[in-house]
Amino acid sequence: MARAKTAKRKRGPGAVAVLLAGGTGTRFWPASTRARPKQLLPLVSEDVMLSETVARVAGLVGRERVLIVTSASLRSAIARALPELPRRNILAEPEKKDTAAAIAWATLEVEKRFGASVMAVFPSDHVIHPTAAFHAAVRSAIEQAAAVPCLYTFGIPPTHPATGYGYVELGARLEVDSALEHHAVARFVEKPAAARAAEMLAGGGYLWNSGMFVWSTATIKDELARFVPGHLEALTPAVHGRGGATALRRAFAQLPAISIDKAVMERTDRARCVKAPFTWADVGSFPALAPFLRKDAHDNAHRGRVAAHAARDNVVWCADADELVALLGVEGLVVVRAGKRTLVMPSARAEELKALVASLEDVEL
C-alpha cells in the first residue's frame, strides 16, 4: 500500500497531456470548415469538443500541463476557444505531416519545458464517459509507463464489427493492476474488411484501438529513433536551437507524412494496452452523433428544433440551436444547417461526404 501511494505522488507532477487538434473534419461539412473544424464545434453538447477534452484531461494533469498541437491556421481560433489555456501551450505546426511529426515535436517540447515526463496523448474530438473511470485507466497507464519502457494504448471493447476502426490483438495479461486489465499487445490490425472484423469479434481477444497513448518521453524518443530517426534529427535542432519559426518550418519540410501508428506502434515490441473501463466514441460522422443528441418519439435525433410528421430515424444538426427544421415523410436522412450552407443526404451514404467536399474546393469551405 505504501508503495502505491509513493507512485501516485510521483506521477502527478511528472505527467503532461498532449492533445492532437489539427484535423479538418471534412465528414462534418458544412458545420465543419477549415476555419472552424470538428474539434471547435459543439457537436454533442453546448461546449466545443476541444474544450470538453481539455476539461477532461486537466483533471489529470492541470491546465498548465496541457499542450495542444494544431495547424498554424487554427492557432488563433483555439486560443479564443480556450482563453484559460496559456497561449504558449498551443503548438502550431507550420505544415501537416501527420501524427508522427506532431508527437515527435510535442515530445521535444515537453522535455524542454518540463524535463523527463510521462506523456498522455489524446485526440481532441472523442466522447468519453464517465470521467472518473477514464482518469483511473489513464493514471494506471501513467504509473506503469513511468516505471517500465513501454508504450500504452487503450482498447475499447467492440460492440459491432466496425471496419472504420483499427483493432488491438491482446497478448498475455499483465498482473500489474488488480482493478484494471493490462495486456501486452500481440499486434495491431488496421481497418479490417467486414468479414475479417466479424471473425475477430466472434473469436474474442480483440479491442478497438482508441488512438490514445501513454508513454514516457524517454521511451517514445527511443522508439522514434529506432523507426523514424529523421524526425528527431530534423526537429531537435529546431526546438533547442535559436532558429525559431524559420527553423521549425525547415524541419517540418524534411519530414515524410506518416502516422504514429504506422511509424511506431505497428512496429514496436513494447506496446501494451489497458482495456477501457469507460465508454468511448470516435464520432466520425453525422450519423454517429445520434446517440448523443436529443430524440423525439420517432427517433429523430436533433440539435435545433424539429417538427416531424411521418418521419423517423433522421439526424438533424443546426449550428443555430434555435433554428427549425421540418421533416415530412422521410426516413434515414441527415440534414445539416450551418450559416448559408445546407446538407441533405441518406445516413447510409455518410462515408461519401468526404468525396463531395473534395469536389467543392472552389466553394468556401
pTM of this prediction exceeds 0.85: yes
- Write the pLDDT tens digit of every residue in 187-211: 999 999 999 999 999 999 999 999 9
- What is the separation, in whole angstroms, between the first and last Cα of the chain? 56
Residues 6+ apart with CB under 8 A from 166: 188, 189, 190, 191, 208, 209, 211, 261
Nearest to 60 by CA among 133, 5, 110: 133
Q: If you search the block for the grid coordinates 515524410, which residue do you land on?
A: 256
Give the mean model confidence (pLDDT) for residues 166-181.
96
pLDDT classification of 361: cutoffs 50, 70, 90: low
- Write the pLDDT tens digit of every residue in 214-240: 999 999 999 999 999 999 999 999 999
What pLDDT shows up at residue 206? 97
Nearest to 69 by CA among 110, 26, 128, 111: 110
Does the structure show a pLDDT above 60 at 181? Answer: yes
- Write the pLDDT tens digit of every residue in 107-123: 999 999 999 999 999 99
Helix (H) or strand (E) holding 306: strand 305-309
Distance from the Cα of residue 208 to its chain's centroid: 13
What would the grid cell of residue 39 be?
A: 474539434
pLDDT classification of 284: cutoffs 50, 70, 90: confident
pLDDT classification of 12: cutoffs 50, 70, 90: very low
DSSP summary character for residue 270: -
Show me where the domains of the chain are located: 2-281, 287-358
Within 10 angstroms of residue 232's Cβ, the number of other Cβ atoms is 17
The three-class DSSP label of residue 93 is strand
Give the mean model confidence (pLDDT) for residues 239-249.
92
What pLDDT shows up at residue 364? 56
Does the structure show a pLDDT above 60 at 254? Answer: yes
- Write the pLDDT tens digit of every residue in 301-329: 999 999 999 999 999 999 999 999 999 99
pLDDT classification of 34: cutoffs 50, 70, 90: confident
**Could you tell me what percent of the chain has a pLDDT over 90?**
86
Give the mean model confidence (pLDDT) for residues 28-39.
92
What CATH number should be reported for the domain whose range is 2-281? 3.90.550.10
CB 268 within 8 A of CB 10: no
Within 10 angstroms of residue 160's Cβ, the number of other Cβ atoms is 8
Helix (H) or strand (E) holding 183: strand 182-189
Q: Is the dihedral of CA 301, 305, 310, 311 positive or negative?
A: negative
